[in-house]
């Protein structure tokens, strides 16, 4: 089949969605499909790199770092129409979706959507379940997801999102997949020590690590507050924050205000092929899960053999088993207690790390692509039956 994957995110705006799309495209190609990707460029010009199409765009005012495009008649968009995809699978809700709908209109391709984010929470915060706001989500969701014949959600958590109310009968749970081999890379002891020294991490120091886009919904400010409490009990510990985003400067100022700046390392943006090194330099993966649906970073940390320390949430079902490959915490006090337990007990930490690596095998690229491929085939067959 000819399969077009569309996303507003791209290699110039790396995120969990980008990682998921790259993993899916690799897996589908191994299954023998011809796969092309459509995303927005980082400039006011379009270009193509092999099977990846980047459409000219402009900075969007509605969200920092995002872009918008109106180029439905761009030559590259028209060439994708001429290619005639059998399936168009859209992973975001912005301009790439609009362009994909235009291609669908001219080709009759089957449209599949994935909901990767908790948009109700992003838009309305903790008030998203109020009747008036919920009604807004239900209406908007009907417009966004209504054209799709199937809507993939990466975890059961998304089944209850208000924005998906009108397409409940079309929802299919398919967990994200990750390139497990990529994050299985390991340092030798000397390489690890040298890499940590380069980051300014002293010997015999415990390291909490998080890999994330630095945006407000990730609640890394909460982790900094908890980390401050850990430092009161244990001095030889560092917090490694890997990634960039619109919230970075505010987080740096908060670390200064809390008096912990010397113990917090902000790496900035790291090339995707280098991220494994930062997982390997850590001892514990820490995160707040409330805004996540099925975090790619959690899966990557598991591949790297790290125990997880994440806030309890439905998105962790099948990912984090409390007391087996990490701890699911409910409060700051519990976070601090669990972190100290892991930092003090190397045997516990190593055992949970091995359990993480074993569980990560359930989320391989091939398992992900195989499940999505079966959904595509069923949707295409259904369309053929409808024509007959």
Question: Based on the domain organization, do 210 and 127 belong to the same domain?
Answer: no
Same domain, 17 and 104: yes
Q: What is the CATH number of the domain that holds 375?
A: 3.40.50.2000
- Residue 66's pLDDT band (cuts 50, 70, 90): confident
pTM of the predicted model over 0.75: yes
Q: Which residues have a Cβ under 8 Å from the Cβ of 331 and sit 6 or more positions away?
A: none
Q: Are residues 354 and 265 in the same domain?
A: yes
User: 374 with 358, same domain?
Assistant: no
Q: Read off the pLDDT band of 387 (50, 70, 90).
A: low
> What pLDDT, in 10s, does the model give residues 154-201?
999 999 999 999 999 999 999 999 888 888 778 888 999 999 999 999
> Both 84 and 210 in a single domain?
no
Domain extent, residue 302, equals 180-363
| Element housing 40 (H / E) | strand 34-40
DSSP letter for each residue of 167-225: GGGGEEE----B-GGGG-----HHHHHHHHHHTTPPTT-EEEEEE----GGG-HHHHHH
196 shares its domain with 159: no
Residues 101 and 60 occupy one common structural domain: yes
CA distance 159 to 186: 37
List pLDDT tens digits, range 315-370: 999 999 999 999 999 999 999 999 999 999 999 999 999 999 999 999 999 999 99
Q: Are residues 332 and 372 in the same domain?
A: no
Would you put residue 256 in left (φ > 0), alpha (ψ -120 to 50) or beta?
A: alpha
86/186 same-domain check: no
Stretch 38-54: mean pLDDT, rounded?
93
Among residues 121, 277, 291, 117, which one has the least CA distance to residue 211? 277
Residue 240: both structure tokens together: 């490694």
Q: How many Å apart are CA 127 and CA 85, to the nearest integer?
A: 40
188 shares a domain with 171? no
Instruction: Specify whether 69 is located in the same domain as 163.
Output: yes
**Same domain (yes/no): 252, 348:** yes
Number of structural domains (the chain) is 2
């Amino acid at each position: 089949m000819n399969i077009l994957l569309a996303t507003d995110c791209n290699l110039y705006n790396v995120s969990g969605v980008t990682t998921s799309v790259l993993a899916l495209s690799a897996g589908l190609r191994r299954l023998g499909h011809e796969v092309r990707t459509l995303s927005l460029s980082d400039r006011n010009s379009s270009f193509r790199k092999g099977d990846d199409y980047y459409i000219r765009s402009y900075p969007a005012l509605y969200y920092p770092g995002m872009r918008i495009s109106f180029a439905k008649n761009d030559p590259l968009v028209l060439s994708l129409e001429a290619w005639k995809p059998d399936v168009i699978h859209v992973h975001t809700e912005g301009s790439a979706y609009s362009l994909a709908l235009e291609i669908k209109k001219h080709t009759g391709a089957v449209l599949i959507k994935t909901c990767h984010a908790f948009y109700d929470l992003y838009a309305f915060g903790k008030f998203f379940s109020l009747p008036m706001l919920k009604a807004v989500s239900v209406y908007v969701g009907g417009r966004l997801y209504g054209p799709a014949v199937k809507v993939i959600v990466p975890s059961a958590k998304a089944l209850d999102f208000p924005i998906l109310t009108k397409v409940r009968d079309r929802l299919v749970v398919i967990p994200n997949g990750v390139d497990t081999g990529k994050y299985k890379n390991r340092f030798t002891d000397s390489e690890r020590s040298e890499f940590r020294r380069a980051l300014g991490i002293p010997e015999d120091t415990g390291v909490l690590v998080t890999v994330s886009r630095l945006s407000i919904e990730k609640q890394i400010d909460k982790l900094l507050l908890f980390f401050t409490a850990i430092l009161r009990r244990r001095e030889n510990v560092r917090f490694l924050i890997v990634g960039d985003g619109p919230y970075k400067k505010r987080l740096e100022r908060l670390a200064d205000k809390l008096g912990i700046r010397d113990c917090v390392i902000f790496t900035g943006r790291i090339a995707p092929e280098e991220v494994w090194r930062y997982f390997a330099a850590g001892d514990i993966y820490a995160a707040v899960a409330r805004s996540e649906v099925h975090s790619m970073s959690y899966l990557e940390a598991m591949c790297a053999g790290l125990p997880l320390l994440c806030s309890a949430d439905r998105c962790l079902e099948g990912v984090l088993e409390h007391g087996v490959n990490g701890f699911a915490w409910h409060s700051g006090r519990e976070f601090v207690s669990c972190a100290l337990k892991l930092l003090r007990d190397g045997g516990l930490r190593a055992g949970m790390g091995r359990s993480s690596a074993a569980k990560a095998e359930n989320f391989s690229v091939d398992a992900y692509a195989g499940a999505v491929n079966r959904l595509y085939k069923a949707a295409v067959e259904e369309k053929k039956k409808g024509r007959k």
